[in-house]
């Protein structure tokens, strides 16, 4: 198994569709959910300009999803949270 793989071989891959491609945001949300991100966090991250592959690599390396999101999240979100 490679470091970038977030599922085990032989298991169904729900983010792949036999028909037309899924919406990109929906596909990103689905991948994040498969990697263990909580539903709300996955939805928010899927809509942002965050490096999906970097998030998945951090989680695959053992980083909790919430921490991976904080590490790769935009700094302006952190500044807004500290000001409020």
pLDDT in tens, 33-76: 999 999 999 999 999 999 999 999 999 999 999 999 999 987 66
Is pLDDT at 20 greater than 70 in this prediction?
no
Query: What is the value of pTM for the model shown?
Result: 0.67
- Check pLDDT > 80 for residue 32: yes
**pLDDT at position 7, please?**
45
- Residue 4 has a pLDDT of 46
- Distance separating alpha carbons of residues 71 and 41, to the nearest angstrom: 14
Provide the residue ranges of all domains of the chain, joining segments of one domain with +. Answer: 24-83
CA distance 25 to 15: 11
The residue written with tokens 């729900």 in the block is 14
């Amino acid at each position: 198994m490679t470091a970038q793989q977030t599922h085990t071989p032989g298991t169904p891959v729900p983010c792949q569709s036999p028909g037309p491609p899924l919406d990109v945001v929906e596909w990103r949300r689905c991948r994040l959910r498969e990697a263990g991100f909580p539903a709300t966090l996955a939805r928010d991250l899927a809509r942002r300009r965050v490096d999906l592959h970097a998030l998945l690599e951090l989680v695959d390396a053992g980083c909790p999803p919430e921490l991976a999101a904080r590490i790769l999240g935009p700094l302006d979100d952190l500044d807004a949270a500290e000001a409020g």
